[in-house]
Amino acid sequence: MARNIGASVGIATVTTMLDRRAQVSSVAADEHVNGFSAAYHNSLNGMQAKLIAAGSTAVHASAQAHGMIYNTVQRRR
């Protein structure tokens, strides 16, 4: 019984540590990807222009570009 309790505590501790690390990474990424960043706006505008050139409407291209940036940030976490 003590072994089971010890394993449960160990698993809970490791899971908590991983969740906290993910939060730290998320905050660090969000600091660089925000509406005040020139690089963010350059990437967003470039993606929108390519999507419009490919036949998307301006409104749809904007939504797609925001989604693409969001997906990129999520993959890097």
Categorize the per-residue pLDDT at 76 as very low, low, confident or very high, splitting at 50, 70 and 90. low
Query: Per residue in 7-27, is it b (16+ CB within 10 Å) or e — as a string?
Result: eeeeeeeeeeeeeeeeeeeee
Residue 32: other Cβ atoms inside 10 A:
10
pLDDT at 40: 86
Secondary structure letter of residue 57 according to DSSP: -
Residue 29: other Cβ atoms inside 10 A:
14
In the chain, the amino acid numbered 75 is R
Report pLDDT digits (tens) over 12-69.
Answer: 999 999 988 887 877 777 777 777 778 889 999 999 999 999 998 999 999 999 999 8
Give CA torsion, residues 5, 8, 14, 19, to 10 deg.
-130
pLDDT at 77: 58
pTM value > 0.85: no
